[in-house]
Amino acid sequence: MLDKKVAIVTGGTRGIGLETVRVFKENNAEVILFGSKEESVSNAINLLKSEGIEVTGYYPNLNNYFEIESTLKEIIKKYGHIDILVNNAGISAKESIENTTSEDFAKIIDLNVQAVFNMTKAVVPYMKENKSGVILNTSSMVSIYGQPSGVGYPASKFAVNGITKSLARELAPFNIRVNAVAPGIIKTDMVALLPEEVIAPLIKSIPLGRIGKPRDIANAFLFLASDLASYITGEVLSVDGAARS
Ligand code: NAD
């Protein structure tokens, strides 16, 4: 489904991002994963290699626009074009507002919003030159319902939806589609570590009766990245088993 496409996946070293790398590779894309550190990037590359999957990886500081620009120049030199960007790197928050400092709040916005802006701004000129491109953002079900603590996280994901819907309109004349996926509760490292007594009521609250798998989200990214979604832009696709918490 992604034959000859070149895709960058931020936060591609584990969880949803790593599974998206796998699914894109299974569909014949060239994939470049981004992570936060040299060690996690090389661990992910080696893990994938042990599964027979070859990818390259980089770890630019996503809050440093010039680092991103020079990384993209290297990628263009190597692959010639960038067709798909998945803005997936993100962090969450759970604390009450009293226990959240303005630095805590800024840290979430820096990665979940500013880095999405930086990556997108840096990639768009290459996509415009190519007269096509797909930008996919990782939102969350909290961007629809909010959450009862950790206000920075839903604030950041509401912003991601705003970026998605606005840039879809701005970039449509250049044949660049912009969509987001809003995952529900997905079994990544964070959720996998929760004790059974926390997991059981979570599952009960999900109408489809199970927690989501990283592959559920990766498949949604695959669909939106592919030509099957060629008339879809500006959408925030919920992939949450109808969870409403
Ligand atoms: P994860 O913690 O397993 O992975 C996060 C990824 O982001 C890692 O690859 C990490 O290297 C990268 N990252 C973290 N800090 C970074 C930084 N400062 N600079 C660059 N990269 C950094 O998380 P996940 O559950 O796979 O989440 C991926 C995305 O999905 C996030 O945007 C998250 O908000 C969203 N999401 C997850 C869930 C869920 O239940 N897991 C639900 C809704 C939305």
Q: What is the pLDDT of residue 207?
A: 97
Nearest CA to ligand 1 atom 32: 90
Question: Residue range 13-40: average pLDDT?
Answer: 98
199 lines ligand 1 (CB under 6 A): no
> Per-residue pLDDT for 193 more than 80?
no
Chain centroid to CA 190: 16
Dump the DSSP string for 139-190.
--THHHH--SS-THHHHHHHHHHHHHHHHHHHHGGGTEEEEEEEE-SB-SHH
140 lines ligand 1 (CB under 6 A): yes
Q: Express as a percent the part of the chain with pLDDT over 70.
A: 99
Question: Residue range 122-127: average pLDDT?
Answer: 98
Q: How far is the CA of 17 from the centre of ligand 1 (A)?
A: 7
> Per-residue pLDDT for 129 more than 80?
yes
**Atom number in ligand 1 closest to CA 142:** 43
57 lines ligand 1 (CB under 6 A): no
155 lines ligand 1 (CB under 6 A): no
Give 38-91 pLDDT, tens digit per residue: 999 999 999 999 999 999 999 999 999 999 999 999 999 999 999 999 999 999
Question: Residue range 177-203: average pLDDT?
Answer: 89
Give 201-237 pLDDT, tens digit per residue: 889 999 999 999 999 999 999 999 999 999 999 999 9
Question: Residue range 2-26: average pLDDT?
Answer: 98
- Does 153 participate in catalysis according to the annotation? yes
Question: What mean pLDDT is reported for the chain?
Answer: 96
Q: What is the pLDDT of residue 211?
A: 95
Q: How far is the CA of 13 from the centre of ligand 1 (A)?
A: 9
Pick left, alpha or beta for residue 31 (phi over 0 → left; psi -120 to 50 → alpha; otherwise beta).
beta
What is the reported pTM? 0.98
Q: Going by C-beta distance under 8 Å and a sequence separation of 6 or more, which residues neighbour residue 230?
A: 177
Catalytic residue (choose from 58, 145, 153, 231): 153
Pocket test for ligand 1, best of 136, 188, 194, 238 (most atoms within 8 A of CB): 188
Question: Residue range 125-153: average pLDDT?
Answer: 96
Q: How far is the CA of 41 from the centre of ligand 1 (A)?
A: 14
Name the residue type at position 206: I
d(CA 193, CA 78): 39
d(CA 181, CA 229): 13
Question: Residue range 183-210: average pLDDT?
Answer: 88
- Alpha helices (H) along the chain: 15-26, 38-50, 65-79, 102-109, 115-130, 142-145, 152-171, 189-192, 196-204, 214-225
> Per-residue pLDDT for 199 more than 90?
no
58 and 34 Cβ atoms separated by less than 8 Å: yes
Nearest CA to ligand 1 atom 44: 140
Sheet holding 236-239, edge to edge: 56-58, 30-34, 6-10, 84-87, 133-138, 176-183, 236-239
d(CA 166, CA 188): 29
